[in-house]
Structure 1
């Protein structure tokens, strides 16, 4: 009489993988699994599971902590059913996932792209349900099905210094994005040297040199259509450093954008102002200001910024009457002329 073949015992690697998958799919910082529950789920002894859990705790696989939740750790838990036991921390926490999800919404990708991004967010964050609600992102009206592919192309073009070509969109009468047209009513093609991608004022900008201009440009990435890049490395017409305000020195992109509350070309200059009341409008837009308090609620302020961008910034607070530009005179003149224009436009008949 022959005996039935014995089932081969799982290997150490297989056991570890099954433990990690179980922790990843069923635990979070307020819900753990006991060694007994894990052993029953994967069909090995509790002693074996405990040994592997201790090893995982010490080694932090993929940079993720494997910890044991005690009842005292759950004293301030927000969920209604917290549970002690072993858990693995997600790659990103909920706040980081929220930022990634909001960034996806800002991208103006279409619904399919957004759902794909959300699926990846869940994969990286752990699938235990602690991120419920991220799938409630709404599809923007003017979505761009090319957005993610464009980002990949732009990253490659920037890294390899390759010039790019594309069509750039504007709005039609119904608020839909449509390509700009040339003199023959065909979609106009732009040729550009790409330098840097940056979020500012809830927009994703490409800082670049458009070949038809002599200055930097700041383009909304979600408006790109039909993007292609040169097949040749180092094919830029101009380098970013060629725009440096100090010839022969590297161009500082971060400083450049900090000097512009609204992205626009033109040099940055010293600006002197007086602010009464609160400094929130200042530091919400300029994080490198120099401030001296002159009284309980009055401040002497110096910044370095683009004049026209500062004009736009000051005008949005004009009805509060607590910001006065003292220097330069050219900016005071711009504010004066704008005020006169508004007076003529809105004066009573």
Structure 2
């Protein structure tokens, strides 16, 4: 009787074991037949030291496969199908094997993109390798597990709080809570030291966090420092000792900021406007894209800035040589090319003046960027040029 009960248990577990087997050992070119699936299940239990294992019958396996292949029973959005000879031959694949397979959750390019993004994070090598292996396992497919990272060196000066900080920010953003933290600078030895007041006490920041985002190899958090009337951007790598202030709601909701990063005037907060803000907040929590109108779009706000700085973006008009067009699109999300004459491009972009000053200076030796407006930026470039000339003329 006990033996029958055990056999019944194994039969019930068959669907999970078949799912796991297909997850790890198949792809759209390489399937497993029903006899092969049964054989592999037996081999797995022998390797695990389970000599009393009773494999499901081929009939049971067929029934479980039919159940798993039903779109209504898809697990983790990974359909189970049979390898198509026609599709493989159409793609010129000759080494395909017939049978059942599970669609990969991530393809090879997607896996590599996620894995490579870890390399720019300030975390140690063990953590990078551990997270990379998890990405491969989640992806599934017969070629996922053997994949390993190429030889690499983690960033030397990393922040051990990084993953804790990312997790805390994510939780706070989801719940609409505040956070507080130390913000650090690097000292001469490459160690992070928290900012301090004049009396030597550590300075803490209390932030309404809105959105995190990678940009040019750095991870940023956009938010509002409580007590101020301005947006702020912090580099997540330099945040330490972050605490989520549970149940302390943000002082200024994201929806109260206008598209240009300024606060909506109090007179604008009519009952209708407040209702629209509540709708935006609800859709944000539900993950539903919303037409934000004149409300702040954090992604657009961050993309307008070639270097991350929380100042108002203004219209910049400039002339570029043709060889600068690639750099233009690498740094600006939505540049507007107004006119093209004799290899010169009249261009408009949106950016705060400080990042634009740095960007122009970055390409100053190319003699391929000329700012037309605003006059204030032209004046700052002229003064900077004069100052540099004086500094280096003395040598």
1:315, CA displacement in angstroms? 1.6
Describe the SS at the equivalent of 1:233: strand
Tell me the residue number matched to 1:260: 305
Q: Do residues 325 (structure 1) and 340 (structure 2) align?
A: no
Note the C-alpha offset of 1:214.
4.4
Paired residues of 1:115 and 1:135 also in contact (CA < 8 A): no
Q: Which residue of 1 aligns with 2:389?
A: 343
| Kept after mapping to 1: 8 A contact 2:224/2:230 | yes
Is 2:265 the counterpart of 1:219?
no
Give the secondary structure class of the aligned counterpart of 1:231: strand
Matches within 5 A, 1:5-16: 8-9=7-8, 13-16=12-15
Counterpart check, 1:124 vs 2:138: yes
State the partner residue of 1:66: 80
Deviation at 1:20, TM superposition (A): 1.0
Please state if 1:91 is matched with 2:102.
no
Separation in structure 2 between the aligned mates of residue 67 and residue 73 of structure 1, nearest angstrom: 13
Within 5 A, what are the aligned runs for 1:1-349? 8-9=7-8, 13-42=12-41, 43-59=55-71, 60-70=74-84, 73-74=87-88, 83-126=97-140, 128-130=142-144, 132-134=147-149, 136=151, 138-211=153-226, 214-236=229-251, 238-244=252-258, 245=262, 247=265, 248=268, 249-278=294-323, 279-295=325-341, 297-347=343-393, 349=395
Do 1:30 and 1:77's aligned partners in 2 also have CA atoms closer than 8 Å? no
CA distance in 2, matches of 1:58, 1:333: 68
Contact 1:108 1:222 in 2 (8 A): yes
Structure 1 segments of 4+ aligned residues over 4 angstroms from their partners: 3-7, 9-12, 70-78, 211-214
Secondary structure class of the residue paired with 2:196: coil
Give ranges in structure 1 of 5+ residues lacking alignment. Answer: none
Distance 1:273 1:311 in 2: 12
Over 3 Å counting, the alpha-carbon distance change for 1:160 and 1:53 in structure 2 is: closer
Shift of 1:103: 3.0
> Which protein is richer in helix relative to its size?
2
Partner Cα distance (2:58, 2:387) in 1: 80
**What is the TM-score normalised by the length of structure 2?**
0.77
Q: Calculate the TM-score normalised by the size of structure 1.
A: 0.86
- 1:18 deviates by 1.7
Q: 1:5 to 1:30 in 2, by over 3 A?
A: closer
How many equivalent pairs are there? 345
